[in-house]
Structure 1
Amino acid sequence: MRILVFANTPAHVHLYRHTVDRLEAAGHDVLVLTREYACTTDLLEFFGMPYRIYGTHGTESYSKLRFAREIGGQFATIAREARRFDPDVIFGRGPYAAYAGTLTRTPVVLVLDDEPGDFNHTVSRPFADTILSPAVTRRDLGDDHYTFDGFKECAYLHPDVFERDENVREFLGVDPDEPYVIVRFNALDALHDAGLEGFSPHQRRDLIQRLSDHATVFVSDEGGEMELRDLPARPYSLHPALIHDAMAEASLLVADTGTMATEAALLGTPAFRYRGTDDHEYGEFQELERAGLAEQFDEYAAIRERALEILADDGAAARWQRRRQAYVTDLANLTELLVDVAESRGVIDQLSSSTRQALQHEHRKQTQP
């Protein structure tokens, strides 16, 4: 079989990397189509995934108008690469995968989360043969929509998949018992981030200064604009492929971005997310809050004080790990599901009975009296 995968962001690389490995080991041909965005291609290189680039996307201020200008050239490249590869099934999300599937008359599997990307859902949904999303998605996307118990991050952070690099503290230059915090600042440059604001420049500086009184602070700045020379913090400078190992050892993650907060929570690290002007209610975060693994804040002072409180709590790390063990172990191993769906060419009825049992038909569930 020939499987085409769209990986447009670093998170997408992680989502599919174990699936690609499994499919290649089984003798299938896999191609990843990607764009130059943040560290996406660095991750593809690190994990040895076969890829070609169809376009670029910067981390500067982004707009829908610019998106419209760029997409024409990207679609032309996608058309050329998709025709050349001639896939049997396509995985992705949004207009890119939908376009490639329509052009090559190939089944399309969309793997979605609970982001409010209405544009992506609107343009891609009519062209999808199968849609997979977490059960906490809280939306019905039609007859071909199936959900699973878990999160898309379970493809690489499920306990059956994730193996921590025990040398990460040495790589970071921190002692075995030294507490450290990872602070993640969002570039807010994606289409679905338009108009949103996270930590202000003043809040970023204040947060770093306050946290540094209790732990070593590593700053991961997606936009690359944060000046740290006069602040008590270090830039997070490890290869981006090691970020989950670093998060697993951290005492706390504080972020104004969603993906890393979800990842930290699933690793059993206290994950605090500052919502800023983002008033969308994400099903994933509500579920993680219910499990006691993540917390969200609308006010800056509240997240700052809660962060300081957790760093002073000697029992926090063990408490979060117990919660992770109790909650995450029973979630779906998404990599296994994606491999099975790929080998069935996206046809749910052709899956094994055990795999079908892990999927819930969302439309049927929503329409039952």
Structure 2
Amino acid sequence: MGLLLNEEQRLLRDGALGWLGSAAPVDRFRAMRDAGSTFSADLWQGACEQGYPGIWIQPEHSGAGFGTQGMGVLAQAMGRNLSPLPLVSSALICPMLIERLGTEAQKREWLEQFAAGAVRGALAVDEAPHHDVSTTELSAAPDGDGHILSGSKTFVMDGAHAQLLLVAARTSGASGELDGLSVFLVDPKTPGLSMRPLSAVDSRDWAGLELDGVRLGADALLGASPGSAGAGLEAVLDHARAVIAAEMLGMAEELFDRTLEYLRERRQFGSAIGSFQGLQHRASWMFCEIELLKSAVHQALSALDERSEEAAVLTSLAKSKAGEVLHLISNEAVQMHGGMGVTDELDLGLFLKRARTLEMLYGSRHFHADRFAELSGY
């Protein structure tokens, strides 16, 4: 991907911006929020007709094969529109886990369904307020050929409306270790599993899970060997982190464009406020930071698709930078709009609330700054 999109990626971007701008704009999300809804079946059906659930999945499983770079292009367009679609979970994380960790039978059973949007999935991984895969404690005790799962999960993205849960559990080892982790395919209606929707500041679909002696058969284990999923799970999460960083980039770009438009239109003391040098300096700083973020995100997405040895380092750089830049841009957008910037009638607040959530998802900027330093040998 480098810093430039190829022709196919440009066509994907232009098509996504056009469709999302008409079918899933910010106004659509605002209406859903006001109605207390976190999922739209009609909107999901429209996304399926566009082929978006199969963007990452390979053609042999009826997908488009655009890779993580293609998902990043789509996520960037979603960020500009605050489009409430569960695509990061259902078009990337879940099918990638199945493709990379699953048996051939599991791939045949699930990947074509995900590509068609016939099933929506969610990954249940976090158990504490701060993200760290290695601290997984939800237990998976042997039960004949199967397992019994007991424990809890929190902040399951897109979980309340998922039709399939991929649950990270510990089959061996101790908290703090990636070794000993497994992933299980779980029907949300399985006896012993209870789900509760969580209210979050961004008004999106989040859920908490309680698993009380959930009995699963042998075919529920993703892959053939229990306890070997830790490294693969972390690698798949890197793809998700980079795509989320792309969504954050799209949000930053949209906030910046809206702020520039306001600076040109708003007049004080007989002049457009954008002519004031102090605001010009701040806007220039915002522009430079967005360009730096753009480079970081594109390099991470490219490295992931190329399976570069630097992929994890570049992903943590991109996610950390995305958190830093979007925090800055969302704050500055509100500040430069003055008193009206804090009103609910203006869309800026919707972007800011989503920004604060994504800053923490799958690792805050501080988590990834530490991880970047550790992976770089410091």
TM-score (normalised: structure 2): 0.28
More helix by share: 2
TM-score (normalised: structure 1): 0.28
